[in-house]
Amino acid sequence: MATTDEPELVRELLAGKHRALARAITKIENRTPGYRDVVSALYPHTGDADVIGITGSPGSGKSTLVDKMAKTYRDRGLTVGVIAVDPSSPFTGGAVLGDRIRMSSTATDMDVFFRSMSARGSLGGLSTATADAVKALDAFGKDKIIIETVGAGQNEVDVVKTADTVAVLVPPSSGDDVQMLKAGILEIGDVFVVNKADLAGANQTVTELRNMLDLREGEEGDWEPEIAETVAKDGDGVDELLDVFQSHADWLDDSGRRAEKRHTRYAEELRNLLREDASELLEAEIEARGGIDDLVARIDAGETTPYELADDIVAPVADALGRDRHNG
């Protein structure tokens, strides 16, 4: 059920009050009562922000690059929201790196909103809460929203579901990091960024990336992934990188792919919400039947099997849905 402060919270957020934005994202992240009402109320006000996902292996310089990206966007007169998805604390579920100072270039700029969020163990380090937080920043009026992910390997393909443009950071190396991209991240990158391009091995990494991208299969009219080089700590190449992001954004609009991405994103959000709700309903039914331990004891005693119990628990739900379809 919605609590009494939701309408006022949404009104204040839409009026540009940063404290309301922070409160809304906290409510969303903690999944406190009424958070769905907040997100639903924000939906009609979303769709204007450009969402950029930054992924890559730990040590590739994601945080430094995001800091410089935010500063450069601000220099261009654009407002920025940053969500840094950090590893979850095994004890509290909170972001263990949430208190670190990561945005030194824009620390005092009110038009850059930074929030560190817990990955909560979800694949790719992006929870449903992160996608909802993006909606809050979008409705607030941020021009650019940057999502920086944990850097946990191929599971980061989940970032695609939330970002319009995906940049994969690859540090200069002997080639091992480039070879790892074959596992799946190669398929999601719209832009590949060789950061720390002043280090030895950068040219080799660019060549290896270009060779791998030439082998990537795509359909006619698809976006051709680009390779950019940056030295984030000095800000070198950041302007050019943002221009590449803009080119991809223009292509999304001109090709109609942005609408396709939005459709796919909504479908995935709906599936996730239905899975969450169905899981809660079934957990409640299990508790009503004495709890999981009592049910497992029946299996231990040879009275039944997991398959029979699952069918028995799900049957009332299936029957109710079937009746609803029949009556409808």
Starting at the edge strand found earlier in the chain, the sheet holding 191-194 runs 112-118, 80-86, 144-148, 50-56, 165-170, 191-194, 226-229
Instruction: List phi, psi (to 5°) of 54.
Output: -115, 115
For residue 175, name the pLDDT band (cuts at 50, 70, 90). low
SS (H, E, C) 107-156: CCCCCEEEEEEECCCCHHHCCHHHHHHHHHHHHHCCCEEEEECCCCCHHH
Residue 90: the pLDDT is 44
Better-scored residue on pLDDT, 113 or 174? 113
Question: Would you list the domain boundaries of the chain?
Answer: 1-45, 46-254, 265-327
| pLDDT score recorded for residue 119 | 61
Which range, of 74-78, 203-207, 308-312, averages the lowest pLDDT? Answer: 203-207
**pLDDT digits over 134-168, tens only?**
999 999 999 999 999 877 555 566 766 789 999 99
pLDDT tens digit string along 106-123? 777 889 999 988 765 554
To the nearest 10°, the Cα dihedral for 299, 303, 308, 309?
A: -60
Alpha carbons 40 and 280: distance in angstroms, whole number: 20
Lowest mean pLDDT segment, chosen from 115-129, 164-178, 186-200, 238-252: 115-129
The reported pLDDT for the residue numbered 268 is 86
Q: 216 falls in which pLDDT band (50, 70, 90)?
A: confident
Q: What is the per-residue DSSP string for 237-257?
A: THHHHHHHHHHHHHHHHHHTH
**Start-to-end Cα distance in the chain:** 26
Tell me the helix, strand and coil percentages in the chain, rounded to 5.
55, 15, 30
Which numeric CATH code is attached to 46-254? 3.40.50.300
Residue 124 has pLDDT above 50, yes or no: no
The pTM assigned to this predicted structure is 0.86
Mean pLDDT score across all residues of the chain: 85
Please tell me whether residue 50 adopts helix, strand or coil conformation: strand
Q: Are 314 and 283 in contact (CB under 8 A)?
A: no
Per-residue pLDDT tens for 244-301?
Answer: 999 999 999 999 999 999 998 899 889 888 988 899 899 999 999 999 999 999 999 9
3-state secondary structure of 215: helix
